Amino acid sequence: MPEIKVTPLGAGQDVGRSCILVSIAGKNVMLDCGMHMGYNDDRRFPDFSYITQNGRLTDFLDCVIISHFHLDHCGALPYFSEMVGYDGPIYMTHPTKAICPILLEDYRKITVDKKGETNFFTSQMIKDCMKKVVAVHLHQTVQVDEELEIKAYYAGHVLGAAMFQIKVGCESVVYTGDYNMTPDRHLGAAWIDKCRPDLLISESTYATTIRDSKRCRERDFLKKVHETVERGGKVLIPVFALGRAQELCILLETFWERMNLKAPIYFSTGLTEKANHYYKLFITWTNQKIRKTFVQRNMFEFKHIKAFDRAFADNPGPMVVFATPGMLHAGQSLQIFRKWAGNEKNMVIMPGYCVQGTVGHKILSGQRKLEMEGRQILEVKMQVEYMSFSAHADAKGIMQLIRQAEPRNVLLVHGEAKKMEFLKQKIEQEFHVSCYMPANGETTTIFTNPSIPVDISLGLLKRETAIGLVPDVKKPKLMHGTLIMKDNSFRLVSPEQALKELGLAEHQLRFTCRVHIQDPRKEHETVLRVYNHLKGVLKDYSVQHLPDGSITVESILIQATAHSEDQGTKVLLVSWTYQDEELGSYLTSLLKKGLPQSTA
Amino acid sequence: MAAHLKKRVYEEFTKVVQQQHEDLSSKKLRLTKPSKSAALHVDLCKATSPADALQYLLQFARKPVEVESVEGVVRILLEHYYKENDASVRLKIASLLGLLSKTAGFSPDCIMDDAINTLQNEKSHQVLAQLLDTLLVIGTKLTENPSVRMRLVEVACKHLTDSSHGVRNKCLQLIGCLGPVEKGVTKEAESQAAKDVQKIIGDHFNDQDPRVRTAAIKAMLQLHERGLKLQQAIYSQACKLLADDYEQVRSAAVQLIWVLSQLYPESIVPIPSSNEEIRLVDDAFGKICHMVSDGSWVVRVQAAKLLGSMQQVSSHFLEQTLDKKLMSDLRRKRTAHERAKELYSSGEFSSGRKWGDDAPKEEIDTGAVNLIESGACGAFVHGLEDEMYEVRIAAVEALCMLAQSSPSFAEKCLDFLVDMFNDEIEEVRLQSIHTMRKISNNITLREDQLDTVLAVLEDSSRDIREALHELLCCTNVSTKEGIHLALVELLKNLTKYPTDRESIWKCLKFLGSRHPTLVLPLVPELLSTHPFFDTPEPDMDDPAYIAVLVLIFNAAKSCPTMPALFSDHTFRHYAYLRDSLSHLVPPLRLPGRKLVSSPVSPSITPHEDPSQQFLHQSLERVYNLQHLDPQGIQELLEFTIRDLQRLGELQSELAGMADFTATYLQCQLLLIKALQEKLWNVAAPLYLKQNALASAAAKQILEETYKMEFMYSGVESRQVVIIHHMRLQAKALQLIVTARTTRGVEPLFGMCEKFLQEVDSFQRCFISELPHMQGSFVDKLLDLMPRLVTSKPSEVVKILQTTLRQSTFLHLPLPEQLHRATANIIEPTGESDNPLRFTSGLVVALDVDATLEHVQDPQGTVKVQVLYPDGQAQIIHPKPADFRNPGPGRHRLITQVYLSHTAWTEPCQIEVRLLLAYNSNRSKASAKIPKSTWSESLESLPQPENGIEGTIPFSKPVKVYIMPKPARR
């Protein structure tokens, strides 16, 4: 039985380090190649030795697919391709290919330059790695080799995020990566057609959450910012450079535009400027509004948002500043925070989750006095707000995607085991499909029932359809033909053609059967009785009484002779060809039951 | 060049000849007819290859065919059809047959048999489909004939088994368009087609081709549209189609389900996988709701739209559409809406400024959470959050329609609508504001909701702000804090966008009159009065102060205790505002002190009857006293006109009526005055220079009649007759004056003739009204018509003069509603002393903002005129998109006018005004009057400086100071 095997090397019942191995119809595909934020040792990268101990990876993997540019989905790529060694194709979408190296470089800098690690990949490795990347367009079917093809679908989440369909013959797998089923200010919602894959591998970050409407959150956010600015206060929004930051920028920019506000908005420079450039470039990947209006004005060419300079933090008057990093643990955002924390007119808005131990987490949990480096005590008087702007699908969204794609099996990754359990149960209950949630290193095997395409000759098809009634989708139809399996292909042709092709002579195969009937009458009378009986039973067939005393039913011949020993017993000789097997056997069984007495 | 000119001349010459050809008698045309089909025949015979034949047919198709020759052509085409082997040529012939049978006036029943016969032996599917299409055309032309329809349907049924989707498609279309709708006719039972068409179509719901499935559903819908009652059995079939793979099928299926839900709302259907049963309309509602989260946006729009019209659905299901149970980590979480509501009811206001404010509370049972609901759950929540704004707009519209019919739903959907005020697309925001206004009767805004609504007042789009003002006009607010909040925000808006002044005042007027009890406790604070100390008198010209006063005075109207809280200057300001902004400040019953300063306001009691009575009485008086001495009539008319004008000023409801009649009487007065002139008796040459009065009167009457005809909305044909009659009289007067003043007879001939033509056309246009015009000018004139036609101009003039004098004047019946078109230019204000500087030769854009009232079709008629000091006039046609329609009968023009001029030495003023263009052919009553009469009669008069042909200035001109500077080199 054909099967699909899935082994998560990362992201199995876990968030981070996404890396999933799929073998489908003899092809091996690696989905994502991420790093884990929580570890600084070997565990941060997936264990590639699982794939092969001593061979080259290239021999074992047919291709690698990267769903989007977040580091937990692409962070291990240079390590994998340059240090472990992989020379095969790597597929990602155009925006991902553009932005991914920026993030990798940033990641490298922080690890090597700041933390002083050695034995890490170099800038050159990132460049070499990116040379192996093949960029794909949305809905473009890419032939990896003769059998394996992949296709990207829009996934929302971040710019360039895609879901991938991997297809070999009739078997297919869809990998969602991270996706978002509700549109936001700069991206649309994920969409997939009814592709009915054998397996859907879905993320499940928010498996147990049903989220409120986005509008309320947006409105709250805007209202808070607006009120603070009107009061003359300063607003600090710590963000990570890519993704949510752009959404919030668009949100504030349009709001400023709409409300005619004058207070300046700043964005701390660096990474972002480069990234914004790509956002401007890949307009087709954004949502309806931005796509429609970019002819007049590209929304990412911000009118109100300017680059931030360190000196601006001391300027009087209201302002809004976006600063990195998002958890207030270091860098510019922390500096600004320290400057502004003392004034109760100011406000800090945390737009995302904060890891324990960071300043962000402390202030969110209500701490008002912070101990900074050098035993300084910083009193936080400014207002602290939390706004969740996450771009993952919630439980409903996941269900909606499953409904759209109609998979035969579902496999959950990228989430916590406990939450997955709930969703798994729901999926099985509502869609009646089996659902899996393997842990890292655990292999799930899914048996598929692929349909095998067979070429049928047109002549045969026409002949056969001509016999039957109107084709009906609901009912299977019986056909007669010869299946030729040759050169890895299947063809259904008429028997004559098959004989001709294979150079074989036709052999007639005839079944003959004798049926004994107790009938004292003369032979021809018996024949007549049999004839009448058959005619009565087989209304749809042509039953003929031939002058030579035999009966034909279609092409089946029936002859009656008196038994040589017992004149009261008549022997009916029934003979049919192999093709008429069905009717012939039916006829014999009919005759064996004997003739009805009523006619006697 | 010369050669070119020659060629041109030659071309023109040949053109003339051709025209003559066409103008020849119809006999000639008939002669050419057989040759047309013959030519086609010859052409087709000549054709050596199918490609040639196709070419001939294509050429042939470009020319129209006369009705009489259609049949011949069809025969020839059919003949070739049978001979032709190439499918493409046959296809073209088949399509030509369809085209030909569409020819107006041709009855295709004679070719129907042939067309059906061609189907017999046709092998090509494409040609078959085309032939069926032709049959469809024939069938639609012969819908009256049931036997033809029956036959065609039979043919279609026969071909339904075809293997090509195109053929099946056409067959279904044919059945849908022609299938028998009326049932119970015995004849049908005999024939084959009596097989239930619905069943036949229904069988194709499961066709293997999606296009055929779509066609089948469409055919079903077509049958429904033609009046066949669809069977309920189809419902379950249609439900299955909702899960189809193809969007067009799903989209059509949604429609079908909606149709069925409207047909059988109350029937009971079982819920699969349970023993329960629900009403069909509820079930259908649930299913369509489900489609709001479909994968294809076309289907989503379709579904969202249809939801709005399902008003029979039970409230339980309806309210589910807004329901979305939130959870976080498997614990129940309250929505932001619920939290806001709770905060509000607990008396706290926005306390939740900490992380975890929305922390989930109770644990929920994992089994009870239904992630994919079968019902309507959250349909609108999804629809309103959709990615495509088309879907969002459709969802808002649907919400609006449902909320209008269900108050409880209206209350529930409020939160969601308020959220939509922050949509990223302006259209959606605007739509949701309008929606909210429409349902505002059913709702009361909570404070937090009001807060969100008011936040939008700062929007930079004027449309949004004005829509919001309109909304606030009809909103119910629950608390006095709410009112205060609204006032504060409106004043903020006022300072930020001073141009919104009028709109904000109006908004406060309604806000005040709707909530008198809520305003009452706020009054001391708003007026900043103090129990012991006198506070300084506020500035009367401050728009913000006026805004506050408008609110208070309107509230005071139904709250008699309020004036006691006013301070002295408030009363003075009241008197001032009552006079200057009478449309915003209502008459108040103030305690009888210090009211001397405002004598007008209390004296006018808002009773409609007396003033209306007055109007009618004064008119009666005028109409009855016909035989007074001329002096008396004149005086009476003058007084009545004065009365009416004053009445119009005082009673805005009657203004249109009063003005209209006053204008009419004015015309009459002018006519009488002109005829009273002594100079008629003097010999012609003597008063050459004295005719000014009479001709001026004639001119003015003409102008006034055009105003009467085109500037008032609600004018009926009865009035139009009288107006035209008055115009005719003016023209007669003109004729007489000219006859008297010009020497020689020749020019008079033409004029007389033209006048008689006009009388004639008047008679033709208003023949039905003539009986009502006994004793009038026209009545007498028509009696004398035979004499007039034969007599000389001088005699005509004499007759006219006597008739004009003897004729009685006509009673002007008043229509129910009459409104005068008015325009008011808000911007530019004309107050600026700073000239608008620009470089000469370049353009400068001037923003023009005007309100128009009671203008029908402003897009077509309203123009902007710019008059330069050098007398140069420019007329600008605003774009249709520049007109907005904030309410019935009101329009708003917001446009830009481009100015340009050569350099001036110093700044100077230009005039901007609005014109109402009219076209005498536009109104149906005057359709027959050739346009030339108007322009020519104008030509004979000195051209007025500000009048433009066919336009009436209807706004006060506004002066704009501009200064084109010479270009710097």
Of B404, B461, B387, the closest CA to residue B430 belongs to B461
Residue of B nearest to A180 (CA): B387
> In this complex, which of B163, B206, B369 lies closest to A473 when CB atoms are compared?
B206
Q: Enumerate residues 47 to 86 of chain A having a beta carbon within 8 A of any beta carbon in chain B.
A: none
Q: Contact B586/B554 with Cβ under 8 angstroms?
A: yes
Is the Cβ pair B371, A395 closer than 8 Å? yes
Residue B927 vs residue B593, higher pLDDT:
B593
pLDDT number for residue A142: 94
Residue B340 reports pLDDT greater than 90: no
Residues 229-258 of A with CB under 8 A from B: 254, 257-258
Q: What is the pLDDT of residue B38?
A: 65
pLDDT averaged over chain A?
A: 85
Contacts of B328 in chain A (CB under 8 A): 208-210
More confident residue, B960 or B738: B960
Q: Residue B332: which pLDDT band, with cuts at 50, 70 and 90?
A: low
Pairing of strands A556-562, A551-553: antiparallel
CA distances from B80 to B55, B90, B118, B807 (A): 14, 8, 11, 74
Q: How far, in Å, CA of B879 to CA of B877, rounded?
A: 6
Hey, are the CB atoms on A213 and B416 less than 8 Å from each other? yes
Q: Which of B40-49, B655-664, B925-934 has the lowest mean pLDDT?
A: B925-934
Cross-chain residue pair A211–B326, CB shorter than 8 Å: yes
Question: Once rounded to an integer, what is the mean pLDDT over residues B406-420?
Answer: 85
Supply the DSSP string of B720-747, one letter for each residue: HHHHHHHHHHHHHHHHHHHHHHS-SSHH
Other CB atoms within 10 Å distance of the CB of residue A66: 27
Residue B596 above 50 pLDDT? Answer: no
Q: Which of B372, B382, B386 to mutate to test the interface with A (most CBs of A within 10 A)?
A: B372
Question: Which of the four pLDDT bands, split at 50, 70 and 90, describes residue B368?
Answer: low
**Range of lowest pLDDT (A465-474, B213-222, B359-368, B648-657):** B359-368
pLDDT tens digits along B158-189: 888 888 889 999 999 988 888 877 654 444 44
* Residue B319, min C-alpha distance to chain A (Å): 17
In chain A, % helix, strand, coil (3-state, to 5) comes to: 35, 25, 40
CA angle B709, B710, B712 (to 5 degrees): 85
Q: Is A209 part of the contact surface with chain B (CB cutoff 8 Å)?
A: yes
Judge contact between A417 and A13, C-beta under 8 A: yes
Angle at which helices B336-345 and B447-455 cross, to 10°: 120
**B355 contacts in A (CB within 8 Å)?**
350, 364-366, 384-386
Distance of residue A5 Cα from the nearest chain B Cα, in angstroms: 28
Q: pLDDT tens, A158-186?
A: 899 999 999 998 899 999 999 998 888 88
Res A5 pLDDT > 70: yes
Contact A435, A424 (CB under 8 A): yes
Q: Read off the pLDDT of residues A21-74 as tens digits, 9 standing for 90 and up.
A: 999 988 999 999 998 877 778 888 888 888 888 778 888 899 999 999 988 899
Contact between chains at A220 and B336 (C-beta distance less than 8 A): yes
B789, B757 in Cβ contact below 8 A? no
User: What pLDDT sits at residue B470?
Assistant: 87
Nearest CA in chain B to A363: B355
Whether B371 sits inside 8 A of A220 (CB atoms) is no
CA distances from B800 to B721, B761, B788, B936 (A): 20, 17, 9, 21
pLDDT reported for residue B946: 36
Least confident of A239-248, B249-258, B383-392, B842-851: A239-248
Residues in CB range of B554: below 8 A, 6 or more apart: B508, B509, B510, B511, B512, B513, B584, B585, B586
| Mean pLDDT confidence for A140-162 | 92
CA distance A396 to chain B (A): 6
Chain A to chain B Cβ contacts (< 8 Å): 122
pLDDT surpasses 60 at B27: no
- In this predicted model, which residue has the larger pLDDT, B17 or B959? B959
Distance from CA of A379 to the nearest CA of B (A): 17
Q: Residue for token digits 């360190």? A: A310
> How far apart (Å, rounded) are the C-alpha atoms in residues A164 and A66?
9
Q: Pick the residue with more confidence: A554 or A197?
A: A197
From A174's Cα to the closest Cα of chain B, the distance in A is 17
ipTM strictly over 0.90?
no
Q: Do A212 and B366 touch (CB under 8 A)?
A: no
Whether the predicted pLDDT of B460 surpasses 80: yes
Query: Is the Cβ of A299 closer than 8 Å to some Cβ of chain B?
Result: no
Tell me how far the alpha carbon of residue A97 is from its chain's centroid: 20
Token pair in block for residue B152 = 């065609």
Q: Is A203 noted as a catalytic residue in this protein?
A: yes
A249, containing H or E segment: helix A244-259
What is the structure's pLDDT at A63? 93
Q: Do B354 and A384 touch (CB under 8 A)?
A: yes
**Closest CA in chain B for residue A466:** B163
Tell me the pLDDT tens digit for each residue of B879-912.
888 887 777 778 888 888 888 888 888 888 888 8
Q: Look at residue A559 in the predicted model and tell me its pLDDT.
A: 83
Long-range contacts of B221-224 (CB under 8 A, 24+ apart): B221/B176, B221/B252, B221/B255, B221/B256, B221/B259, B222/B173, B222/B176, B222/B177, B223/B176, B223/B179, B223/B181, B223/B197, B223/B198, B224/B259, B224/B263
pLDDT at residue number B331: 59
> Percentage of residues in chain B with pLDDT exceeding 70?
80
What average pLDDT does range B14-28 have in this prediction? 40
Cβ <8 Å between B356 and A386: yes
Confidence of residue A97 (pLDDT cuts 50, 70, 90): very high
Binding-face residues of A in 382-411 toward B, CB within 8 A: 383-386, 395-396, 399-400, 403-404
Q: Do A366 and B324 touch (CB under 8 A)?
A: no
pLDDT band at residue B270, thresholds of 50, 70 and 90?
Answer: confident
Q: Which of B387, B418, B430 to mutate to test the interface with A (most CBs of A within 10 A)?
A: B387
Residue B26 has pLDDT above 80, yes or no: no
Q: Is A356 exposed, middle or buried (0-12, 13-18, 19+ CB in 10 A)?
A: exposed
Strand ranges for B158-291 from DSSP E: 268-270, 277-279
Q: Pick from A287, A386, A399: which is nearest to B355 by CB?
A: A386
Task: Provide the mean pLDDT of chain B.
Answer: 77
Nearest to B724 by CA among B671, B778, B672, B768: B778
Contact A219 B419 (CB under 8 A): yes
A210/B contact by beta carbon, under 8 A: yes
Whether the pLDDT of residue B800 is over 60: the answer is yes
pLDDT at A41: 81
Q: Quick check: A209 and B460 CB within 8 A?
A: no
Residues of A in contact with B354 (CB under 8 A): 366, 384, 386
Residues B549-562: pLDDT tens digits? 999 999 888 888 88
Nearest CA in chain A to B161: A470
Tell me B815's DSSP state: P
Distance from CA of B325 to the nearest CA of A (A): 7
- Strands, E, within A354-430: which ranges? 369-371, 377-379, 383-386, 409-413
User: Residue B217: its pLDDT value, please?
Assistant: 93
Catalytic residue among A82, A105, A117, A203: A203
What is the CB neighbour count within 10 angstroms for residue B238?
25
The distance of A401 to chain B (nearest Cα, Å) reads 9
Please name the residues between 465 and 524 in chain A that touch chain B, using a CB distance below 8 Å. 465, 470-474
In angstroms, the CA B799 to CA B562 distance is 70
